[in-house]
Structure 1
Amino acid sequence: MKDLMGMMKQAKAMQEKMAALQEEIAQLSATGRSGGGLVSVTLNGRGEMAALSIDPSLAKPDEKDILEDLVVAAHNDAKVKLDQAMQEKTQAMTDGLQLPAGLKLPF
C-alpha cells in the first residue's frame, strides 16, 4: 500500500508540473523569417499567428505569388522553432522520470 501512495504522490506532482509546463508553453513565442528577413511571422505558444511583417519592397502586384510563398515559408520556420522550444521545455521537465518510450507530452 505504501508503493501505491508513493505512486499517487508522483502522479499528482506530475500533474502539477504538466499544468505549469502548459502555462509556460502558452507564454512562448517564435519568429520565423524568409526572403532574407523581408517577411517575418511570429507565433504564440498555441501556434497562432500573432504578428506578420512584410517589407514594403515586396508589395508589388506582379510579385504576389512570391510574397505568398514567403509568408508561408516564414510561418513554417516559426512553427519549427516553436515546436523545438516546446520539446526542450518538455524534455527538461520530464528528465529523470521513467516514462514509456514514444510518449508524447504535453498530452
Structure 2
Amino acid sequence: MERPNIDAAARKASYESLRDDLLNIRSRIADITATADSPNGLISATVVGRGELRELYLDPRIYRTADSKALAEAIVDTVHEAVEMSREQLFAITRQFLPKDAKLPATDVHTDPFMHQLDKEIEGVRS
C-alpha cells in the first residue's frame, strides 16, 4: 500500500495558523466580562472568561427577609444569567470557527469550535 504524500511545510503552516487562531481566542476569552442583576436589583454577579465568578454583590437590604432558601435561589439564578451572558460572548468570539448553521443552545462553546477546525484539518480543508 502506497503512503500518501504529505506536504510537511504546508501542514506545518496550517497548524501554525490554527495555533495563532487559538492564542487569539484565548486572549479574547480572557477579556470576557458579564454582569447580571437580580430582578429586584439586590444581587449583582460578575463572571469573567468562561464563566468564572469574579464578583458577587449583595445589597444589605437582602437581610430584611430571613428566607435563606429564596436568597440562595436568587443568587444562583443571577450567577446563571451572568454565565449565559458570558457564553453568548464566547459564542461570538468562536463563531468563525463553527459550522455556518451552528446555534448557541446546541453548541459546546468550550470545545466545538476547536473540534470543527480539527475536523477541517483532517479533511484537508482550511478556511
For the aligned pair, the TM-score class normalised by the smaller chain equals 0.7 to 0.9
Q: Within the alignment, does 1:88 sit opposite 2:96 as a pair? A: no
Residue aligning to 2:50: 46
* Structure with greater helix share of residues: 1
Which stretches of structure 1, 4 residues or longer, exceed 4 Å deviation after superposition?
Answer: 1-4
Count residues in correspondence. Answer: 101
Q: What per-residue deviation string (whole Å, max 9, x for no partner) do you get for residues 58-93 of structure 1?
A: 11352222211110001100111111100110114x
Residue aligning to 2:119: none
| Structure number with higher relative contact order (C-alpha < 8 Å, ≥ 6 residues apart) | 1
Query: Between Structure 1 and Structure 2, whose CA radius of gyration is higher?
Result: 2
CA distance in 1, matches of 2:41, 2:14: 46
SS of equivalent residue, structure 1 residue 62:
coil
Give the alignment partner of residue 15 of structure 1, picking from 16, 19, 24.
19
In structure 1, the gaps of 5 or more residues are 97-101
Task: Map 1:18-97 to 2 at 5 A.
Answer: 18-60=22-64, 62-92=66-96, 94=97
- Sequence identity (%): 21
CA distance in 2, matches of 1:17, 1:83: 19
Moved more, 43-52 or 57-66: 57-66
8 A Cα contact 1:31 1:41, kept in partner = yes
TM-score (norm 1): 0.77
**Aligned-residue CA RMSD in angstroms?**
2.5
Q: CA deviation at 1:27?
A: 1.9
In structure 2, the gaps of 5 or more residues are 100-106, 116-127
Q: Within the alignment, does 1:105 sit opposite 2:109 as a pair? A: no
